[in-house]
Each structure stands twice: as structure tokens, then as C-alpha cells.
């Protein structure tokens, strides 16, 4: 969507007055005004002196509403008391009610402060002059520190071998409540749980805490800690006990087992087995556990409880993007379409209609093996009408793919035929048989609303005229995206991509293996795929690509934010004719229930034209 303004308009006058950098700096200043930051500089020596001290300044604060009672306590404990202790909102009826409150509150505060290591508090309720509110004074006393830690082991782990001695020493070294640390009940419980978990994660599935003791000396404000762990015997994997299968063969489950019967028990292998089954579309719920009865430690059964999911699913989606217009789609999935050697094959199909692009897609795939590899056979028919270039393409692909928590990879062979009709230029037909590879690494905190992390993508492929291709070519492409958190809410986003197709000419190469740029996720301020090579009245793909984005997003609330950005890039037929186009602007971000929405207003630096970019989608 393009908005053209005359040079006499108010917006154009501002843009001409400020220029590119001036406008960008102005937007940044306005955005930062919503998030003022106070910077305090302190001497390093003073900071080091205060790093391990507690603030003991007593302050009087009203507790609630009309504040029948004022609370006087050091900052180190005041917030804790106000959070967990209830104070009266009405004056005491009589002395009996007052005495009950004092007795009950003293007991509650003592118990609360004990969890933070204060075992000798002084708590008094002092009356003031007539008309003044009484003050509850809390002096927490000296905070208890850990003086001594003893960790003992029993069972098989305690046997005198070098391997066991090393493991016990490592477990002791990882204990967090070391001497001189403040004693806190929560940390004490967490430390014991972590120690037990570390022992039980490998070999010793029946490990347990035999005894634990925190000996507190209130007068000295010290704590002596002692924990005794019985590892029990070494556990070994036994047989699978599978329940819940109705439509599928047990081979679907056993093919994902990452261990062999008789191997030493390891918790991470149980979790990996469960995660692999959970990733299958055939099951709606999966639970994998072992029997920790020491009587069966030499061959402990593995219990696999499954709930099968519906084999067939239909999905509907709608959306709108200024790139390709309004969108509607229908997808169908069948998780047990064909049974091949006792293994179900998945079928996936998609019919998508967009104003500028229409797609029909079908795919047959194996289930991932224990290393998460699968094979797929797919077919795709697509028609496009973008920037006066009409294309009609048919494609068949055979791929080997792998998907893990952070990485996706694909290697395969693709045959493609494309009919190309540029306005004002002759129609052509391109064919290519391409050996293609694709790799993506993703490490972000949230796939939909990333605030920290990065995504890297590389694609490499090519074809030769000696094997079902009209021209020799090699295509290379790389893309990187990075997110940095700024403050509590803001995000700085960087994107860069580069591509190059090595060939004597672009003619005869399908558009998928050439490059165009422009629009959302490319160079805003330009229409979708409007940067490329001019052929007649149309814009077609060239052999070079380079684009980049720098964007700053400030979130005013949990779901609403504003962005300022600058995009740069171009797509041409050679690096000599590569002249990056610059655009900049601002926009709105909304974390909607249906998914992320982005509405941007971008200005082209060369022409001053304003373009609106909008993208939103919803699935049902």
C-alpha cells in the first residue's frame, strides 16, 4: 500500500526538513521518552564494601488502609513481613483482642523470619501518645550463617572405587549452602532436593535421603548442616511395558528407544525417549517412567503410558498481509495414511488462496527415527502474479530431513518446471533438477515473540544442463536474525541476508533459485518483491541479493508496543549494478490472541513515498 504526498504537505515538509538520520533520531528520542532511565554512578570501592551487607535502617510505614498499626522494621525484613503477615484494619475492641493479636503476630513473625535465617528476633508493640497509632517494632537480630556442612553417602555409591570417589567429591562441590553463606530454609530444601536428584539421575534410581539435620545455634548465629544419602543399588534397564496402543503397532514405540536392555539406568535417556514420542502426531499424551523398586533393580521395567491422538485433522486459517493480500487456507493431515512395513506414513496437504499467490501442496512422510531423521516425498503446484510477473510452477521433491530442539536440516532432490509470463516481454519456460540442502539453527526464548536469541539459516544447491536443467547454476543463500533484550521490556532486532546464484545468465533458471526483495521481512517502503531486475514491464529475479534491518521495539504494555526501524537492500543481476535502497519508519506491535500483528509506516529515502505494511494471521 503506497501513500503519495505532495511536497507541500505537512508530513513531507517534516521529512525534507529532518532528513533520513534526523527523522530516525527524532523517532528514537520520542520512543525513549516513554521509558526514562535514571543512571546512578557510585564508587566501586563503596559498592564492594556494601555487597554482602544487609540494610538495617528501621523505618515506620503504614501497613494497610487506615493503618491501625505502624510497622517499624529494617528494610531487609520489612517487605517480607508486609507480604505475609496480616494486620488489623480496625482498632482493637478491647485489651483482650489486642493481646491475642500481639501473641499471634509474634509467633507468625518468628516463624517467618526463621525461614530467612533470623532466629533471635525481638518483637514489641509500643503505644504512642494519645491520637497516635501504636508501632509494631521488629528487630530481627543477627542473621544465621552456615558454619559447617557434612554430606555422607551410603549404598553402592559409597563403595571404595576411584570413579565413585570422584562422583561423591563432585556432588559435595556442587552443594550451594557452603560455609559463610546465609542460611535460608528455602535454599536448604532446594539444596537437598538438588543433591538427591543429582544422585538419582544416573544409575541410582532409588536414591533417598536417609536423614537431614540443620543444627542451629541462635546465640552464635551459626548453622551446622548434615545430609545422609543412600544411593541404593545400581539400576539396569529392563523390558518395556506399553499400554494405550489401539491403532498402531508396538514397533512405532520401540523404534524410538534410545537405550538397550541391560544398560545402566540414566534419567536423560528416559526423558529423551518421552520427548521423542511426544513429538509424534500419533499421540496426544505420553508418560514414560520406571519402577524404582530395588527388588527389580537388575532389570527394572520401563512403563510407557500412551493416549492416541485422532488420526485425521482438518485446519482452517485466514489472514492478511500487504505482501500477498488476503489469505484463506485449508489443510488436512492424516497420521496413519499408509502402513509401510509396520510403520505409519503421515500425509499432509494444503490448499491456500492468496490474492497474489495460490498454492496446492501434498506431502507423504515417514515418522522420525530415534535420531529424528525422516524421509519425505512432496508435490507442489503454485500460481503467482506479483509485480507484473505471472508464474505457474510444478515441483516434486524427495528429501531427508531432521528436526531437533534447536536445529532443522534438509537434503534432497527437487525437479521444478516453471512457466513465466512477464508483462511486456516474451514468455519463457524454465526447468531444473536441483540437488538442494538447507540448514537452520534456532535458539530463541520464544518462537512467536522472541526477545533474546538468534536464528541462522543457510541454503546451498544447484543444477546442471546435463541432467534435466536448462542452465548450469549454483545458488547460495544465508540469513541471520538476532534479538537483544533492552531493559525490562524493549528489544533490539537485527536481520541480515545475502544471496548469490552463480550462472552465466538468469534465463532458464526458475524464480525460486533467483532473488527479489521488498516488503515485510525484507525492505519495507517497497512493494512485495518489487526490487529485482526489470524485464519488459515486470520485475523478475536476479542473481544477487543483499538486505538488512535494524529495529527497536518498545513495549508500552504486555501486549502493545511501538517500533522504529530502518531497512536497506537490493536484488539485481550482478554486484556491479547493486545499489541498496534505504527506507525507515515506525510501527505498532500487538501480541494478539491469534498471533503477532505488525503495522508499519515506512518511507522510501529516494522518492519520499510512504508505504503501509500490515501482517496478521489466525488459525482454527
pLDDT score at 138: 93
In residues, how long is the chain? 620
Q: Which CATH superfamily is domain 63-139 in?
A: membrane protein fhac (3.10.20.310)
pLDDT at 53 over 60: no
pLDDT score at 252: 86
528 — pLDDT class (breaks 50, 70, 90): very high
pLDDT score at 251: 84
Averaged pLDDT, 177-188: 95
CA pair distance 277, 308, nearest whole angstrom: 11
pLDDT at 66 over 60: no
pLDDT in tens, 112-168: 999 999 999 999 888 766 667 888 899 999 999 999 999 999 999 999 899 999 999
pLDDT score at 131: 64
Burial class, 112, CB count within 10 angstroms (exposed 0-12 / middle 13-18 / buried 19+): middle
pLDDT at 5 over 60: no
Maximum Cα–Cα distance across the chain: 104
Q: Which of 311, 293, 339, 308 is nearest to 243 (CA)?
A: 308
The CATH class of the 237-308 domain is alpha beta
Q: Which of 184, 326, 299 is nearest to 614 (CA)?
A: 326
- Assign 3-state DSSP to the chain and report helix, strand, coil percentages, each to 5: 20, 50, 35
Of all helices (H) and strands (E), which one includes residue 189?
helix 185-200
pLDDT at 60 over 70: no
pLDDT in tens, 193-203: 999 999 999 99
- Pick the more confident residue, 280 or 63: 280
Name which of 57-61, 161-165, 459-463 the model is least confident about. 57-61
Averaged pLDDT, 267-285: 92
pLDDT at 38 over 80: no
Look up residue 360 and give its three cell numbers: 496446492
pLDDT in tens, 350-374: 999 999 999 999 999 998 887 889 9
Averaged pLDDT score across all residues of the chain = 88
pLDDT score at 429: 97
Name which of 1-10, 263-272, 310-319, 510-519 the model is least confident about. 1-10
pTM strictly above 0.75: no
Of all helices (H) and strands (E), which one includes residue 338?
strand 325-340
462 — pLDDT class (breaks 50, 70, 90): very high
460 — pLDDT class (breaks 50, 70, 90): very high
Name which of 441-450, 516-525, 547-556 the model is least confident about. 441-450
CA pair distance 347, 311, nearest whole angstrom: 10
Does domain 312-619 sit in CATH 1.10.1040.10? Answer: no
457 touches 448 (CB < 8 A): no
Averaged pLDDT, 520-538: 97
pLDDT in tens, 334-352: 998 988 877 889 999 999 9
Averaged pLDDT, 417-421: 98
pLDDT score at 240: 95
Name which of 67-81, 281-295, 595-609 the model is least confident about. 67-81
pLDDT score at 130: 65
35 — pLDDT class (breaks 50, 70, 90): very low
pLDDT score at 86: 84
Look up residue 195 and give its three cell numbers: 543433591
**3-state SS string for 445-505:** CCCCCCCCEEEEEEEEEEECCCCCCCCCEEEEEEEEEEEEEECCCEEEEEEEEEEEEECCC
φ and ψ of 219, to 5 deg: -65, -40
- Domain locations in the chain as residue ranges: 63-139, 145-230, 237-308, 312-619
67 — pLDDT class (breaks 50, 70, 90): low
Task: Categorise residue 568: left if φ over 0, alpha if ψ from -120 to 50, beta otherwise.
Answer: beta
Averaged pLDDT, 36-61: 39
pLDDT at 307 over 90: yes
Averaged pLDDT, 268-283: 91
pLDDT score at 517: 98
DSSP 143: B
Topology of domain 145-230 in CATH is: Ubiquitin-like (UB roll) (3.10.20)
Percent of the chain predicted with pLDDT > 90: 72
CA pair distance 84, 89, nearest whole angstrom: 15
pLDDT score at 619: 63
First to last CA, the chain: 28
Averaged pLDDT, 38-54: 36
pLDDT at 37 over 70: no
Same fold, 63-139 and 237-308: yes
CA angle 133/77/212 to nearest 5° reads 135
- Pick the more confident residue, 361 or 18: 361
pLDDT score at 378: 98
pLDDT score at 129: 64
Amino acid at each position: 500500500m503506497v501513500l503519495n504526498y505532495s511536497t507541500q504537505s505537512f508530513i513531507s515538509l517534516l521529512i525534507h526538513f529532518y532528513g533520513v538520520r534526523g527523522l530516525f533520531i527524532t523517532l528514537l528520542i520520542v520512543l525513549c521518552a516513554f521509558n526514562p532511565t535514571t543512571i546512578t554512578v557510585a564508587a566501586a570501592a563503596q559498592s564492594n564494601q556494601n555487597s554482602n551487607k544487609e540494610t538495617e535502617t528501621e523505618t515506620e510505614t503504614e501497613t494497610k488502609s487506615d493503618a491501625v498499626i505502624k510497622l517499624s522494621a529494617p528494610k531487609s525484613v520489612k517487605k517480607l513481613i508486609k507480604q505475609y503477615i496480616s494486620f488489623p484494619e480496625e482498632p482493637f475492641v478491647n485489651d483482650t483482642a489486642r493481646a491475642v493479636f500481639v501473641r499471634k503476630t509474634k509467633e507468625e513473625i518468628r516463624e517467618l523470619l526463621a525461614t530467612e535465617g533470623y532466629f533471635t528476633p525481638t518483637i514489641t508493640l509500643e503505644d504512642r501518645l494519645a491520637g497516635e497509632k501504636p508501632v509494631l517494632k521488629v528487630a530481627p537480630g543477627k542473621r544465621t550463617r552456615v558454619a559447617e556442612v557434612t554430606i555422607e553417602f551410603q549404598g553402592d555409591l559409597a563403595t571404595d572405587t576411584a570413579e565413585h570417589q570422584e562422583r561423591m567429591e563432585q556432588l559435595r562441590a556442587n552443594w550451594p549452602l557452603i560455609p559463610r553463606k546465609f542460611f535460608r530454609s528455602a535454599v536448604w530444601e532446594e539444596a537437598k532436593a538438588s543433591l538427591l536428584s543429582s544422585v538419582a539421575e544416573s544409575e541410582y534410581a532409588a536414591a533417598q535421603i536417609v536423614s537431614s539435620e540443620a543444627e542451629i545455634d541462635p546465640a552464635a548465629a551459626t548453622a551446622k548442616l548434615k545430609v545422609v544419602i543412600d544411593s541404593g543399588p545400581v539400576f539396569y534397564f529392563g523390558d518395556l511395558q506399553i499400554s494405550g496402543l489401539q491403532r498402531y503397532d508396538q514397533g512405532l514405540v520401540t523404534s524410538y528407544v534410545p537405550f538397550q536392555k541391560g544398560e545402566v539406568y540414566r534419567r536423560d535417556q528416559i526423558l529423551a525417549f518421552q520427548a521423542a514420542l511426544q513429538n509424534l502426531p500419533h499421540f496426544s499424551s505420553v508418560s514414560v517412567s520406571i519402577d524404582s523398586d530395588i527388588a527389580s533393580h537388575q532389570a527394572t521395567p520401563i512403563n510407557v503410558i500412551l493416549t492416541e491422538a485422532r488420526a485425521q485433522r482438518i485446519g482452517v486459517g485466514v489472514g492478511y498481509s500487504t505482501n500477498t493480500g488476503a489469505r484463506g487456507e485449508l489443510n488436512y493431515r492424516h497420521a496413519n495414511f499408509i502402513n509401510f512395513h509396520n510403520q505409519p506414513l503421515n500425509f499432509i496437504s494444503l490448499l491456500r488462496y492468496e490474492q497474489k499467490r495460490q498454492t496446492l501442496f501434498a506431502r507423504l512422510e515417514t515418522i522420525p527415527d530415534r535420531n529424528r531423521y525422516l524421509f519425505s516425498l512432496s508435490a507442489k503446484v503454485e500460481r503467482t502474479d506479483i509485480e507484473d510477473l505471472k508464474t505457474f510452477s510444478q515441483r516434486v521433491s524427495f528429501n531427508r530431513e531432521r528436526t531437533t530442539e534447536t536445529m532443522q536440516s534438509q537434503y534432497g532432490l527437487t525437479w521444478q518446471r516453471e512457466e513465466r509470463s512477464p508483462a511486456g516481454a516474451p514468455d519463457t519456460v524454465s526447468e531444473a533438477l536441483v540437488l538442494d540442502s538447507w540448514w537452520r539453527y534456532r535458539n530463541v526464548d520464544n518462537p512467536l515473540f522472541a526477545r533474546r536469541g538468534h536464528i541462522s539459516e543457510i541454503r546451498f544447491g544447484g543444477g546442471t544442463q546435463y541432467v534435466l536443467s536448462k542452465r548450469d547454476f549454483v545458488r547460495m543463500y544465508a540469513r541471520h536474525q538476532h534479538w537483544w533484550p533492552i531493559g525490562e521490556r524493549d528489544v533490539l532486532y537485527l536481520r541480515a541476508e545475502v544471496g548469490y546464484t552463480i550462472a552465466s545468465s538468469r534465463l532458464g533458471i526458475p524464480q525460486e533459485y533467483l532473488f527479489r526483495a521488498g516488503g515485510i521481512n525484507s525492505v519495507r517502503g517497497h512493494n512485495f518483491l518489487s526490487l529485482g531486475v526489470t524485464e519488459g514491464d515486470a520485475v523478475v529475479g536476479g542473481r544477487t541479493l543483499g538486505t538488512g534491518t535494524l529495529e527497536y521495539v518498545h513495549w508500552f504494555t504486555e501486549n502493545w508496543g511501538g517500533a522504529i526501524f530502518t531497512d536497506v537492500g537490493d536484488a539485481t543481476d550482478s554486484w556491479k549494478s547493486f545499489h541498496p535502497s534505504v527506507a525507515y519508519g515506525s510501527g505498532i506491535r500487538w501480541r494478539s490472541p491469534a498471533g503477532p500483528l505488525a503495522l508499519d509506516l515506512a518511507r522510501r529515502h529516494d522518492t519520499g513515498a510512504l508505504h503501509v505494511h500490515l501482517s496478521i494471521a489466525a488459525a482454527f
